[in-house]
Structure 1
Amino acid sequence: MALLIILFFGLMLLGAPIAIAMVLSSAVVFGLQTEMPIQIVAQRMQYGVDSFSQLAIPFFILAGQFMNHGGISNRIIKFASTLVGHIKGGLAQVMILASMLFAGISGSAYADASMLGTVLLPRMKEKNIL
């Protein structure tokens, strides 16, 4: 375990991306410390990502993009803006209210973030919030 942590942070200090540091440090530690055949490793990796619930995440994001391009996201944000846009910190309040409304529609936080981010981030940059 110590070797894994040392390798991970060493690769991070060298400037490797997080994903590369995780993969390389895990592969090195696995190669040095296990007696498991490589076929079983491949099967366990496949089993880890073979989940029906994980398959739904990209489809929720796709549904969010469809709603965004269809215009429903702009209409919901305008509705939320008329309700709470006049309050101090109105854009943040609009984000919260629109997120609540989208949660009822899609049921996915990932879809909400991708949909609301594409619509509200330009508005936040205009008002120098970001």
Structure 2
Amino acid sequence: RHLVDDLRINTLIQTSLEIDGELSDAITQDQALALFHITQEALNNVAKHSQAKSASVRLQASDRLISVEVRDDGIGFDPEGEQSHERHGLRNMRDRARSVGARLHLVGKTDEGTTVRAELSIGAATEAHE
């Protein structure tokens, strides 16, 4: 909530937060921290690069899957392109996701906004860290 509030307060970007479900006790502190930092980096990219008017964060949690999605209506980008100013942040998000067994999906199109989605399978992630 603080990340979304900070974006709203420090920029002119309209923000929303949706939480669907409750976090499982099976998620580790490292996994929760990685998802937090991925969300933080995605919101930083919205503020710095997107030129968005609005952004949303959606957290969905079930017994098997936790996902965090950050979506904006900004200028978008090609995740595979040569935009070096975002490369470091994207690499950090990918590394953080990989470190806890999560998947990171980036969808961006020029002039159509960007979506960053991290998905953590609870069963698989828990087994990977035992």
Query: In proportion to residue count, which structure has more strand?
Result: 2
Q: How does the TM-score come out when normalised to structure 2?
A: 0.28
- Greater relative contact order structure (CA < 8 Å, 6+ sep): 2
Larger Rg over CA atoms: 1
Question: Under a length normalisation based on structure 1, what TM-score does the superposition of the two structures give?
Answer: 0.28
- Larger relative helix fraction: 1
